[in-house]
Amino acid sequence: MKRAASNHASMVVAIAACSCLIPAARAEDSSTLTSLTVEQAREVIAAKPRVVLHELDGGFVSFDALTSLSPEAAEVLVAYEGQLSFKGLTELSPETVAVLAKHKPVGGFGYADLRLNGLKSISAEAAEALATHQGKVLLYGLEKLDSLPLAKKLAGQWGELRLGITELSPEIAAELAKNAGVAEDKTQPGIIHRRADRAPSVLRLDNLRSLSPETAEALSKHSGVLVLNGLGSLDPTVATSLAKRTGTLVLNGLPSLSTEAAAALAAYPGELVLKAITELPPDAAAALAKHKGRLHLTGLTTISPETRAALQGHANLLLRRQVPSGP
């Protein structure tokens, strides 16, 4: 009887121990949680959640299945000294954003501290709160940006600045153009970091379908790599403004180029990437041949003898290895 009682007691202890471990084990897989209570948030943090590695953005603790986040749960999570990802959130209340903005920069400087790539819109109040965040935040899915404070904050971030905005005002463009790709490491005051390729900035706005001349003029102040792969056409006036900037200009959404736009781009002093152009008239080719920087036309599928002859005047032209001559 004593042995049976002893065995029963051991089983109770073992069951109790197992029941204590269940929440922690479940909490470790934060990426599967579709909702988050304050208690669950505490369990996740206490369990030292598993970091999900991401090649460009560092290692995140993923909460990417969440579709909503309360200020109370966010208050627990921001105490975590590491990178947090909330890719599933498409909108956030100003109260929750104000809490997330308190998340401190982490030791892996150069990576993002907060990933909010699912956020499609943000209110003026929430944008103002997020602008106070001291680390780096990713907003790849943000479709509209009209907050000057947030634009200034983003322009001051380290590394590639990529946004999903579909409209861009001259005022916001002027702020984003100030991005310099250099920042002070908040975890090591006085330590300055710069991109390995020495480009002062990478500004990527691939969802823009058009640019006004005024916005293009504001972007002309940007120096570094400017990526505008969403543009399907290029007005000569816009091309003239973009040609004033320095660095690399990537326009891989342009299927064709008018002679007037080609002549405007020829004045661009830096690297010009036009990989989506499949056919180029001789007049446009002759205009582009006056460009002095490196020119990428690797999308050309056929080249007429006239176009080939015109392009021979360019000193730093990149074509695909074998491009058949057209009729």
For residues 325 and 209, the model is more confident at: 209
With a cut of 50, say whether residue 235 has pLDDT above it.
yes
Q: Please, which residues have CB within 8 angstroms of residue 301's CB and are 6 or more apart in sequence?
A: 278, 279, 323, 324
The number of CA neighbours under 13 Å toward the Cβ of 145 is 32
- Average confidence (pLDDT) over 295-321: 93
Helical ranges in 131-281 per DSSP H: 148-155, 170-176, 213-219, 236-242, 259-265
Residue 12 banded pLDDT, cuts 50, 70, 90: very low
Q: Hey, what are 56's tokens?
A: 């460009």
**Which of helix, strand or coil describes residue 58?**
strand
Residue 196 vs residue 73, higher pLDDT: 73
Q: Which residues contact 55 (CB under 8 A, 6 or more apart)?
A: none
The yes-or-no verdict on residue 149 having pLDDT over 70 is yes
The answer to whether the beta carbons of residues 286 and 308 sit under 8 Å apart is no
Confidence of residue 104 (pLDDT cuts 50, 70, 90): confident
Q: What is the pLDDT of residue 26?
A: 44
Distance CA 283, CA 263 (A): 9
pLDDT of residue 4: 43
* pLDDT exceeds 80 at position 184: no
* Amino acid 29: pLDDT: 85
Give the confidence band of 105 by pLDDT, cuts at 50, 70, 90: confident
Give CA–CA dist 290/313, Å, rounded.
7
Asked if the model's pLDDT at residue 269 lies above 80, the reply is yes
214 touches 237 (CB < 8 A): no
pLDDT range class, residue 58, cuts 50, 70, 90: low
The answer on pLDDT for 15 being more than 50 is no
Relative orientation angle of helices 2-28 and 38-46, to the nearest 10 degrees:
100
Residue 194 pLDDT = 63
Average pLDDT estimate for 100-118: 83
pLDDT digits (tens, 9 = 90+) for 71-92: 999 999 999 988 899 999 999 9
Closest CA to 165 of 186, 182, 150: 150
Report the percent of the chain where pLDDT is more than 90: 69
Q: What percent of the chain has pLDDT over 70?
A: 81
Structure tokens given for 87: 């890719």
Average pLDDT of the chain to the nearest whole number:
86
Out of 30-34, 147-151, 234-238, which region has the weakest mean confidence (pLDDT)? 30-34
Q: Containing H/E element for 17?
A: helix 2-28
Token pair 């899915």: residue: 141
Q: What are phi and psi of 83, to 5 degrees?
A: -85, 140
Q: Hey, where are the domains in the chain? A: 28-142
Q: What are 164-177's pLDDT values in tens digits?
A: 999 999 999 999 99
Q: Maximum CA pair distance of the chain?
A: 102
Beta-strand (E) ranges in the chain? 52-54, 58-62, 83-85, 114-115, 137-138, 161-162, 183-184, 192-193, 202-204, 223-227, 246-250, 271-273, 295-296, 317-318
Interval 43-50 mean pLDDT? 85
Compute the average pLDDT of residues 149-159: 91
Residue 327 pLDDT level (bands cut at 50, 70, 90)? low
pLDDT band at 158 (very low <50, low <70, confident <90, very high): confident
Exposure of 91 by Cβ count < 10 A (0-12 exposed, 13-18 middle, 19+ buried)? middle
Q: pLDDT at position 48, please?
A: 77
Task: Round to whole Å and give the CA distance between 10 and 245.
Answer: 75
What confidence score (pLDDT) does residue 259 get?
97
Per the document, the length of the chain is 327
| pLDDT score of 300 more than 80 | yes
What phi and psi values does residue 271 have, to the nearest 5 degrees? -75, 135
